[in-house]
Structure 1
Amino acid sequence: MGKLRRRTTSAALATGLTTALMAVLVTGCAAERQGSDSVTGTSAKGSAEGSPKVAKRGGSVGEAGSACELPVAFDIAEFWKAEAVDAEDSSSAGGDLAELVDAFAHQGPVTMACEIDAKPAGKIGFLRVWTGAPGKADARTVLKEFVAAEQEASGAVYREVETGDVTGVEVAYTTTSKLLEESKQEHAFAVATSKGPVVLHLGGMDTGEHNAMLPAFELAKSTLHLAG
């Protein structure tokens, strides 16, 4: 895949981790709004039935020369900002911080390679891209291991999806915070390539924010194809 054109340092990863932790703390403040505008228990199948909303295109990532060079390429939503992540640089943080950054940058068999930030579009969350080493594992296996590595994940629903020149697997699941006693929706999509597996994951501060960002996830998923 070659070196990424742009690299996020361990300090930036640490900042991302801090932001994620702060988002968890403020989730409680958003609980009332979540109860009114969220869709609870939406399955992967349900999110793709009918005509799902697709965000307006703002650019693309994945190809050589883009913000993130990846095994796949896809369109990103208008105003969203992509930045490559160099997880190998996490060791420079040192001590406990290095361990936190390392845990944040790795999940199951894949490592974070790109963050696409929704804040410039007025939303709180990221579409993150994770990549793994080439191997024999299929997309469903990789995705199951990815979800299994997520703390307090439950209710996973998988389905096969054909997009561009690849066939992938999508999952919808729920994560629960024991501290806040609240749950939120998550979506991920995985494909297997000759250069290794790729997982696109959409989180969000809460289910309300997640649902507001689903059109960006649908755009990425529907336009995804092999890079190069």
Structure 2
Amino acid sequence: MRLPIRLLVPVVLVAGPLLTGCGGSEAVPGAQAPTAKPSDATPSEAATPAVPAAAASLGGPGTACPLPVSFSLAKDWKPKAIELPTDPDLADLADLARRGPAVMRCEIDAKPAGHIGFLRVWTVEKGSARAALEAFVKGDESSSAVSYREGRAGALPAVEATYTVRSALFDEDKEERAFAVATPRGVVVVDLGGSDTEEHRAMLPAYELARTTLKLG
């Protein structure tokens, strides 16, 4: 379901110095199998999209978000560093940038590219990539249908998860996807959300670009 951009409610509120800067049946001979609609497939069944051309780099020195890793961004995706408020009175606001043991460090907005959603980069101080990713996914209490698999992100070993969460905005399940890598400076988790499953799948090329081009610092 595609909605006007003006209806998007960001997960993280940015307020000046506060936060600045996711049994079968037998086949009939000769009959053609029905084609599932995109919304019918589970996250793990979604086809890997074509990777777009890189338009910018993120994570290295001089970029919007200094990170333990760097990767390429698709055209018009706009990154912004996230800084947690230190004022105890703003603890509720700071909690918006935490999920399980993960702390959000960068939010990359897809609205300028015509989509409703974000790539978000999180860090976890210690532990394995698998443990960090599992805790991150469980950090959303509505997460379900979770599937993990080992793979690579660029040249680094990685763990990836596909799962669904419940959208409070639309009261329906939607797909999410995330991967994690271990670095000398802790674990990095990159996740892709979206207003709904349609938007999530439309943004997968940008997610795949980030995953396949990722490298240390």
Write out per-residue CA displacement over residues 123-152 of structure 1, whole angstroms, 9 at most, x where no aligned residue: 11110000122x3x1111100000011130
Cα distance change on mapping 1:141 and 1:14 into 2, 3 Å: same
Unaligned runs of 5+ in 1: 1-7, 17-35
Structure 1 position 182 matched with structure 2 position 182: no
Whole-angstrom distance in 2 between the partners of 1:42 and 1:13: 37
1:1-228 equivalences in 2 (<5 Å): 11=15, 38=39, 40-43=41-44, 46-47=45-46, 52-87=49-84, 90-92=85-87, 95=89, 98-133=90-125, 135=126, 137-177=127-167, 180-227=170-217
> What is the deviation of 1:110?
1.3
Which residue identity lines up with residue 55 of structure 2 in the other structure? Answer: G
| Equivalent residues, number | 190
3-state DSSP class of the match of 1:147?
helix
Larger helix fraction of residues: 1
Unaligned runs of 5+ in 2: 1-11, 21-36
Write out per-residue CA displacement over residues 95-148 of structure 1, whole angstroms, 9 at most, x where no aligned residue: 4xx233222101111100001110110111110000122x3x111110000001
TM-score by length of 2: 0.79
Does the 8 Å CA contact 1:10/1:91 hold for their aligned counterparts?
Answer: no
Identity %: 45
3-state DSSP class of the match of 2:203?
helix
Does the 8 Å CA contact 2:13/2:19 hold for their aligned counterparts?
Answer: no
Cα distance change on mapping 1:11 and 1:148 into 2, 3 Å: same
Runs of 4+ displaced beyond 3 Å: 12-16, 36-40, 177-181
Does the 8 Å CA contact 1:13/1:101 hold for their aligned counterparts?
Answer: no
Does the 8 Å CA contact 1:39/1:207 hold for their aligned counterparts?
Answer: no
Cα distance change on mapping 1:179 and 1:225 into 2, 3 Å: closer
Cα distance change on mapping 1:77 and 1:39 into 2, 3 Å: farther
Does the 8 Å CA contact 2:18/2:83 hold for their aligned counterparts?
Answer: no
> What is the deviation of 1:38?
3.5
Does the 8 Å CA contact 2:19/2:83 hold for their aligned counterparts?
Answer: no
Q: Which has the larger radius of gyration?
A: 2
Q: In the alignment, which residue of structure 2 is the partner of 1:30?
A: none
